[in-house]
Structures are given as C-alpha cells and as structure tokens.
Structure 1
Amino acid sequence: MNLARLQEAIAAAIPETECLIFGGRRYTWAQFNDRTRRLGAFLRQNGLGLHKELGRLENWQSSQDHVAMYLYNCNEYLETLLAAFKCRASAINVNYRYQDDELVYLLKNSGAKAIVFHARFAVMLASLRDQLPDIQVWIQVADGSDVTLMAGAIDYEEALAACAPEPIDPGCRDDDLFIIYTGGTTGLPKGVLWRQTDIFFGLIAQTPVGTSQEKTVADVTRRVSQGRLGKAMPLAPMMHASGTCMALGAMFRGSAIVIQETVDHFDAKEIVQTFERESITQATLIGDAFAAPLLAEMDRGSYDLSAFSMINSGGAVLSPRNKKRLQDHMPQMLLVDAVGSSEAGRQAMNLSKGGKTKSSVDFEMDINACVISADRTRILQPGEDETGWVAQGEPVAMGYLNDAEKTKLAFPVIDGKRYAVPGDRARMNEDGSYHFLGRDSVTINSGGEKIFAEEVEHALKTLSGILDAQVVGVVDDIWGQKVVAIVSKTGEAEIDEQLVRDHCKSKLADYKAPKNVIFVDELFRAANGKASYEWARDLANETLGTAQDGAGS
C-alpha cells in the first residue's frame, strides 16, 4: 500500500466529499488533493525526491530526501506529509517544543533538505540557519502571528500558487519510506524507518494485512453511499506518531479530519464545543492527561455527544475511573485503550463498552504481538513468571535511521522471524493476555528489586482523590534508589502521604510503595500528554533535598 496513491484514489472516488476542517477552512477531497499535488510539484522542482530504491539499502538507510515539518496541528501538516510522498521524498516530524541545540540535532541527524515551518518559529530558525547548511528549501506557513517572511524562505501559499497540480511521481512504491522521529524516554531523538505498506497495516489502518487499495477505496465509497463516514478529531499533536497515524487512519476510511482552532495549548472547552458543533464521531486521547480536562468540561456543561461512536486512547495510562466517566457521558461509545510504539505499531488493546470497564494494565495481545525473554532469544508462554520484553512480529518498522547497532538490538530475529522490541516490559498472564509493566528506561532499582514506574502510577490512580500521578526513583543511601510519587489531587477526598502509601501497599508488594509523596497543583506533561520523568525527577530531588526528614518506609 502506497499512501500517496491511496490518497489520490480516494480523492478520485469521492472528490466533493468533505476531507479536512481547520477553523474556518473546509476542504473537499478534490481541494486537498489539488493542494498536495501543487506542493509536491514545488518540492520536485527544487530537486527533492528519491535517489536509490529501498531494496538496495540496509534497514537503517534512506535514499529519499527528507522534508522537516516544524508545525503545530494544521491542514498544512497533512498536506506536507502527502506532498512529500508524492514526489518520493519523506516527511520528518519535528517536536515543536524543540529549540536551539535539540532542534539543530534533529535536523542534522535527519539530513533534512527542506523544512516547512510556522511563522512563529521563523526568528529562531533564522538564528540557527548557519548551522543547517543542508537545508536548501524553507517554506513558511502563516499562523496569525504577524511575523514577517524569513529571508530566503517562500510563503506556503505562494509555493502552491507557483506550481500546477501535477500528478504524483509514477514510480511511487509500497516500500517508499514513512519516517517517525521519536524521543523522550527513548533517549536522543531517533528516526524510525517504516515501509509505507507496513505502517499502513501496522499502525494506521484497522484492516487485515494485505487488503488491497481497490478494496480500501471500495469500502470508502460504500460508507459514503450509506452516510457513515463520520468526523474524526486527532487531539494528539501530529508531531507525534499517535496524532498523525490516527488522522491518516480516519482519513483513509473516508472520514473528515477536524482540527481544533487553538493548537498551541490544550483548550478543553473549545474541544468539547467542537465535538458537539461538528458531530464528531471519533477522537484520540493520550490517557488521563487529555481525559481529565475534557471530563471536567463535560461535567460543567450540557453537551450533546450522541454522535460519538469511538474514542481511542494510547501513549499514557487511561485510568479505570476516567474510562467509566467517559462512558457515563457517552454510553454508546466504544472505548479503545491501546498499547503501541513508533517501532512496533499496535501491540495490544482492550475494549470497553456498555458500562463494562476493562483494566488499564491487562491487555489482549495483537495477533502478531508476544512477550519475549529478557535475553531476547525465545517467546514466553502463558503463565511463565519471567518478566520479559513486549515484542511485535511483522509488519514492524525496519530500523533506526543511520544507526546499525541500535537497529540490530531493537529488531531481533527469533526462530527466523523478525520482531520489534521498543523497550516495554511485561509478564504473560495465564489466559494469554499480558500484564503491562511499563518502559524499561524509567524503571527504579530499589534494594535490588526492579520497580516499574507505570505500574505504581496505575495503582496510585485507583485511589479516590488522586487526579494524576508520576513516579520516579531518586538516589538513596540505603536503597540505592527510592520510589517517590508526585501527585495532584481532585479535591473530592482528603488524602495525605500515609494514606497514599497504604493504598499502594494494598495493591502492590510493599517495596513498590512510594517512600515519599509530593503533592502539587498540577503535573507537567509533554504536549502529547506523556509523562515528563525528567521534570518529576528534578522536582523530587529539589523537594527532598530540604525535606529528607519526611521520608517514610
């Protein structure tokens, strides 16, 4: 499946159907297709494209030119992504929080030859331009910030107007690359290389592997005739895989993509109002970080959310309490809680509907998912007590851009089959489901025992009165590391440090309970809703540096 060809085929089948809504802009499939073709032509005229077919490369190599997208959510984000594919280049997602050295690192590491950026970033990019000699094409997107056009850049709309809507490169193939840059708990940003056909079946679509383009388009056409297309809101930033892939998954089912007008911060009131106004049928959340403010707004107002058929959550824990509250507001809605990664795609999920709420740590495995042994040499069987690695069989990513060593570690071959191992730990349950423990890079070693931060966080969030929680390990003379919880309250119940520790001990082994609990008004999270363990660790060290006498046991 080539994504550029698929998008063109759907546009040909339903040209006048609404495709994308952003603020006051509303584009049909024909209009969206015209814009992506024009930008693709502009990139091609500036020398961007493919230089060597993928079959002649190693799994960690790319011979396509890379187009960086330094953008908030907007129609231009999806247009740039598809336009790059249409000229056989590949788009690169850039975290819009990155600045100075971290931004230069990513742009150099990716080898970007072009960049499409919001105007508000122009001043910073201009100051870094001398450090980025490989970038030859600079395209600035107006964003209402009144920033003047950066010297040497072209306005996005002018670039489109300068080119005819040329057909896509006839050489577009299923193995053209889709590149996702990932960072955070995985260390320095790394480019994850996917073949387009693999990411379509592994992370974007919810159709069986091997489904043809013709059948996919026919399914879209049938839904149009039945009036069942719907509208989808990718609330997660598109700079992260969850936001982009949810948007593409809905788009390739024929749904209109709706982007909230305020994109530089999470405006729960505006989002819920948009749910009602546009009769949104599907949205993607990033766990409790997104669910909590949305639920608070739903509780305050009186909204008609009867159009909702599905909410997807991934990337962070969605607590059973908030699952139930979402179902109370939208009883007809299917709630999908998923585990996945940029390297492995979807690995597991659980489904809640009709008031029946599933656990947030026990998941049904994807047909190609498994848990492998700690030494990455064998597949664990149901009921084995060993803590292993969550792994995913193909279709998975190919490797990390220009990093042979990490590619070989993260994509082992077991019994002749290739797996992706993104770094999450789990144990097999007796029934074949797995008990998710969390990312290995944020585990805590206390007194020789390995403690998974996310497992403790989940236990904490089952206590009435806790709104959000993050758990980190800090250096301790006795334990090596001790568990520290950073907690915010709902205000619904009185809680203190001892109650929190006792509750945790009632859910988990005693040694996993936090030695200290730090209460804050609000936890800091990244723009995609994921925990910032660096922030939590810094806060814990700073607070406990003057409060060691409060340590419990």
Structure 2
Amino acid sequence: MDALFIASTMARRGLLTPGDPVRVARQFAALGRWGFGLAGEVRQAAARSPHRIAVLDDERQVTYAELLDRSSRLAAALPVRAGDRVGLLCRNSARMLEALIGVATRGADAVLINTGLSAHQLDAVVRAQGLAAVIHDDEFAGRIAGLPNRIGEKDVDELIGSTPAGATAPPERPGRTIVLTSGTTGVPKGARRPTPGGFGPLCSVIDRIPLRAGERIMIAAPLFHTWGYAGMQIALALRATIVLRRRFDPADVVATLAAHQVTALVAVPVMLQNLLDVPTGYRGLRVAAVSGSALPGGLATRFMDRYGDVLYNLYGSTEASWVSIATPADLREAPTTAGLPPHGTRVTIVDGQIHVSNGMLFEGYTGQDAASRDVVGTGDLGHLDEKGRLYVDGRADDMIVSGGENIFPGEVEDLLAALPQVREVAVVGVADDDWGQRLAAHVVLHPDGRLDADAIRAHVRANLARFSVPRDVVFLDELPRNATGKVLKRELRRNS
C-alpha cells in the first residue's frame, strides 16, 4: 500500500487534522504499542478525543475515556486466559463493545455468535470452538442454560464495578476475532479474521466510502456479522460516535437518525427496503453503506430517490473481507453492479467464478492451521463490464440447470423486483422429473400491489429467454431470512 495514497486519503477524511500535540503524540503511541486491533483503536481514540461520545445506545451514552476504562477493567476481571476463546452472544449495544474490546485487551479471541442460532446450534458452536466462556445478553440465558462459564449483563457490570482502574499492558499475543460463517444448516465454521497491520485497510475502504473523522455513524447491521463488525472497526478508527439499537425497527431508525443528527448509516440491504416502507425519510445522511447480500433490482434507485445519492454498496465475504465497492454514481448508471475493486484489491474471474486478492484475506477456519493466502474464491459467479465494474450473477451452487440450460436466479429476481407491485422476490430451483430442475419464484407484493402468477410469467417471458420463465409462482407475506437479512433459499426449496 503506497504511503502517498494513505496520506492523501487520511487527509481527505479528516484524520490528519491538527490537534493538541500531546494528545496526538499519545494517539500514535497507543497505536505503536497496541497495534490496529480493537484494543489499540479504542486507546488511540481515547488519547485524542477522550470526551467525545463513543457510543449511544438504547440505555446510555459512553465517552471514549469511559469506554477505555470500562473495557480495561473488564479485561482484568474476565475469568479467562490469553489465548482462550470467548463467545459473544449479544445484540448491538455499548455493553457488547465493552465486551469485545475487553476480550481483545485480555489477549483472548472473541467468537461472534449469531443471535438467531437455536439452543442446539449454540451448544454445537460452544463445543466446536472450544469456548472458555460466553458473554451474553440476558434474553439469551435460556438458550445457553446448560453451558458453563456464562457471563450475563449483570455479571459484566459487576466485574467492571468491582475491579479497580489500573494501567494495562499489551498481551504477548494480540486477541483475534473469529466470525462464524452464515450457514443455515450444520454447525457454522469459524473464520479467523486478520488484524490490520496499519492504516492501509482502513484507507482502502474510506477512499471509496467517504466516511470522515468524528462522524456520527449508526450501525444497524448486527455487530456479530462481518459487515457490522467492520463498521465498528472503521468507526473506532475514525473516533466516530457510534449509534446502536438492540433491534432494528425502521420507524425507530428514521427517528433516531433525525434525533441524533446521524450522518452515516451501516446496514444490510433488506433494511433499506424496510426504511422505504416508513412514510417519512431523513435527508441528513451523507453515507448509507450496505453489504451482506445482493441489492435487489431497483432498490438502489428507489432508496436514493428518497434519501439522496448517498448509497454505497460493498460486496465482500467473511473470508475475503471486501471485493468491490459501488458508489452512488455507479448505482445510478448500473443499479445492480457491485462496483470497482478498492485500492490494493485485485479481482479476477476464473471459469466464471469471482476470485479476490487483498491484504485482509482470512487466515483460515478454526481447527485448521493458519495460512497466508494470496487469492480467495468467493463462491459467487460474476462478470465484469467494459468499465471494469463487477456484477455478481449468484452463488455458484445456486445456478439452476433446466433442460440443459444454465439459469442464474439473480437475473430473474432483478427483473421481477423492478416491478412496482413487487416488494421482494427470491427465485430457486426445485427438482423436476422432466427437466432436471425448474424455476420457482417466491414473490412478496406491496400491500396495494396486484399481480397474479400469469402476469409474473408473462413479464419474464417478454424480457428473458423462454427457459427463464418460472413454472411455479408462490406469493408470500414475507421471505424467510436469517438474523443478518439473508434469504433462506434452502427453506424455500423445501417448501416448494
């Protein structure tokens, strides 16, 4: 990563603004001593902007000085050792940030657990990951009642309150973060995320997504998800004020954006659709950054028509971090594009599949030896246009072969999602005795939308090849989704 790019990007985003010389010296000393993980980022932010509000959640607000103090006390009191794995089963809150930073400060590895997992899946994750403890919100106590070393909300507060303040030293081994893959069957795998080695990874993202130092950023995406976690990392590096809510309610989000004069939103695409269902919008956003699943056809344009040209779409994965970023200009010109690779990232299409190289590829799955990787395949099919912009055609294992023809469900989904009557749609392949597979379209209409199955088929027939016409059309009240907003296509296949 070249130094000129880093310096110019940091200057453009307000990270090189002059400040009190003593605080600036302490800021860079903290990064030099603790590195660019969560423990280092909170320390540099507290050194430079101790009295700035770090987190605003449903219950309280916490300054950077307080966040550092509470996470440091928790680190000293946690009943785990450096190198242990600690599960976090929490919704978005200041307490979750304190726990994440505390675990990292201790030198333990935080395992981010999806709040949508069942008791059986949670038990399997605890065993598969060898968790020494689980820090959890009280609402999940029943799901993990049989597990040892459970640390609830009251326990966290008591550990912090009973531990005196004191200087902390960096652990011999920095704490890492393990993100669970979003598989919907079996036991999710744990992907080891690398710790940034400098300012380069941050600059790669904020060069394309113009987040600035001191921004007020609402992170609506779950913090246990790769994108929500990345948003938190970026926000800490920018010494931003992070606005959190335990649950996503679109009307409450719009009200919160206005009440706190939020200038940036980190979300997943389905949240944008839900925000459009709220009669009133909010025009104070500079940035609405989404990731985690494909943008349905027409959603980007509809959102920007309401909220302004502020939408940025990051395509990536737990294993690859980021692959490409689409700006508002990209999305106006080509609403379904995943955009261009950011600085330092290289994208190639090999046998129709997307492969990526950058400085933040994952280090392997837990249970496997750590490995340095030059290239990772995302498992998605894709293509590039004449401007080098990437398009994601769908999962390689979702491609449907019907009567010898290869069909990408995403093409049919984008076509149908652009209909004004359609709120959302998912297309899957189901077994067929004659054709091998046939298409089944699952459609959710707007409350005032009027369409029947024949109209759906006629629209596809008029715009795509004959073999892309869905034989089955099922109307639903809503699509089944997991806790991160991804459509559960396996469930749709089972019920088709």
Of 351-360 and 32-41, more deviation after overlay is shown by 351-360
Partner of 2:108: 89
The 5 A counterparts of 1:33-182 are 33-43=68-78, 46-49=79-82, 64-126=83-145, 128-129=146-147, 135=148, 137-142=149-154, 155-171=155-171, 176-182=175-181
Q: Matched residues in 1 for 2:469 and 2:202: separation?
A: 35
Q: Distance in 2 between matches of 1:204 and 1:104?
A: 39
Match in the other structure for 1:390: 355
Contact 2:39 2:101 in 1 (8 A): yes
Deviating beyond 6 angstroms after TM superposition, the runs of 4 or more aligned structure 1 residues are none
Looking at structure 2, the residues matched to 204 and 40 of structure 1 have their Cα atoms a distance apart, in angstroms, of 29
Shift of the 111–253 alpha-carbon distance from structure 1 to 2, 3 Å rule, reads: same
Query: What is the identity, as a one-letter code, of the residue corresponding to 1:104?
Result: D
Secondary structure, counterpart of 1:365 in structure 2: coil
SS in 1 for 2:283: coil
The equivalent residue for 2:43 is 8
Distance (whole Å) between structure 2 residues aligned to residue 469 and residue 199 of structure 1 = 41
How has the CA–CA distance of structure 1 residues 10 and 86 changed in structure 2, closer, same or farther, with 3 Å as cutoff?
same
Distance (Å, rounded) in 2 between the aligned partners of 1:278 and 1:518? 41
- Relative to structure 1, the CA distance from residue 67 to residue 240 in structure 2 (aligned partners, 3 Å threshold; closer, same or farther) is same
| AA in 2 matched with 1:105 | A
Partner secondary structure for residue 383 of structure 2: strand
CA distance in structure 1 between the aligned counterparts of 2:152 and 2:350, rounded to whole angstroms: 48
Tell me the distance in 2 between the aligned counterparts of 1:140 and 1:118: 6
Deviation string 1:347-391 (CA, Å, 9 cap, x unpaired) is: 0121115993532145223341312423xxxxxxxxxxxx22332
Unaligned runs of 5+ residues in structure 1 are 50-63, 130-134, 143-154, 209-219, 375-386, 541-553
Deviations 1:183-237 (A, max 9, x none): 22696411111221169855897358xxxxxxxxxxx9xx7xxxx6231111111
* Number of the residue aligned with 1:371: 348
**Equivalent in 336, 339, 350 of residue 326 of structure 2:** 350
Structure 2: state its 5+ residue gaps: 1-35
Could you tell me which residue of structure 1 aligns to residue 419 of structure 2? 463
- Aligned pair 1:279/2:230, yes or no? no
Percent identity of the aligned residues?
26
Residue 191 of structure 1 corresponds to 190
Taking structure 1 as the reference length, what is the TM-score of the superposition? 0.77
TM (norm. structure 2) is 0.85
Alpha-carbon offset, residue 105 of structure 1: 1.2
| Residue identity opposite 2:346 in structure 1 | A
Aligned to 1:293: 274
> How far apart, in 2, do the equivalents of 1:360 and 1:188 lie?
32
RMSD: 2.7
Output the CA distance in 2 between the equivalents of 1:293 and 1:184: 24
2:338 aligned with 1:359? no
**For 1:206, what is the secondary structure of its paired residue?**
helix
- Contact 2:103 2:175 (C-alpha < 8 Å) held by counterparts: no
Report the residue type matching 1:441 in the other structure.
Answer: D
| Cross-structure match for 1:313 | 290
Q: 2-side partners of 1:445 and 1:238: how far apart?
A: 37
CA distance in 2, matches of 1:357, 1:156: 49
1:439-454 to 2 correspondence within 5 Å? 439-454=395-410
Q: Alpha-carbon deviations, 1:291-340, whole Å to 9, x = none?
A: 1221111xx23x5x332100011112334533233223322x42101211
Distance in 2 (alpha carbons) for counterparts of 1:354 and 1:478? 42
Do the aligned partners of 1:86 and 1:172 also contact (CA within 8 Å) in 2? no
- Alpha-carbon distance, 1:521 to partner: 1.7
Per-residue deviation, residues 253-303 of structure 1 (Å, max 9, x unmatched): 11111112xx34x3111111101111111112211x211221111xx23x5
CA distance in structure 1 between the partners assigned to 2:231 and 2:388 by the alignment: 27
Whether 1:268 aligns to 2:250 is: yes
